[in-house]
Structure 1
Amino acid sequence: MKRNVGKTDRVIRIVLGLVIIVLGYLNNSWWGAIGLIPLLTAFVGFCPLYVPFKINTEKSAAE
């Protein structure tokens, strides 16, 4: 797995994931578990949904 999630993308995913988890907790809903997906992709640095669309927000070493 080559990283395809950049720094800004990671920060957005972490914030979004935490917001979803908190909202799920406050609403007593299992939907808060969905917030784990953006957190996981942020910490791993790889998003499988980016692969088929050839999206890469990670800056390469050459840039």
Structure 2
Amino acid sequence: MKANMGSVDRLIRFILGIGLILLFFFTAAPIKYLGILGVIFVITALIKWCPLYTLFGFSTKTKQ
């Protein structure tokens, strides 16, 4: 797995993911399932790799 996420992208995903995870604990059933998406966002932010970015050949990581 080659990193394909830049630092800004990772920060946005991480914050959004935490927010969605909190929705899981504080909302009713239909919206509660967005918490699963939040977990995915947090995991992809931590490992610096998004499978959808790889699938579409997209990257937000800057070249060094």
**Shorter-chain-normalised TM-score: which range?**
0.7 to 0.9
Question: C-alpha distance in 2, partners of 1:28/1:14?
Answer: 23
Aligned identity (percent) is 38
1:3 alignment partner AA? A
What CA deviation, in whole Å up to 9, does each residue of 1:3-61 have, x standing for no partner? Answer: 00100000000011011001111015552232110000000000000112111001111
For structure 1, list consecutive stretches of 5 or more residues without a partner in the other structure: none
RMSD of Structure 2 on Structure 1 (CA): 1.3
Per the alignment, residue 13 of structure 1 pairs with 13
Q: Tell me the number of residue pairs that the alignment of Structure 1 and Structure 2 aligns.
A: 61
Over 3 Å off, 4+ runs: none
Partner of residue 41 from structure 2, selected from 38, 42, 46? 38
Greater shift after overlay, 32-41 or 5-14?
Answer: 32-41
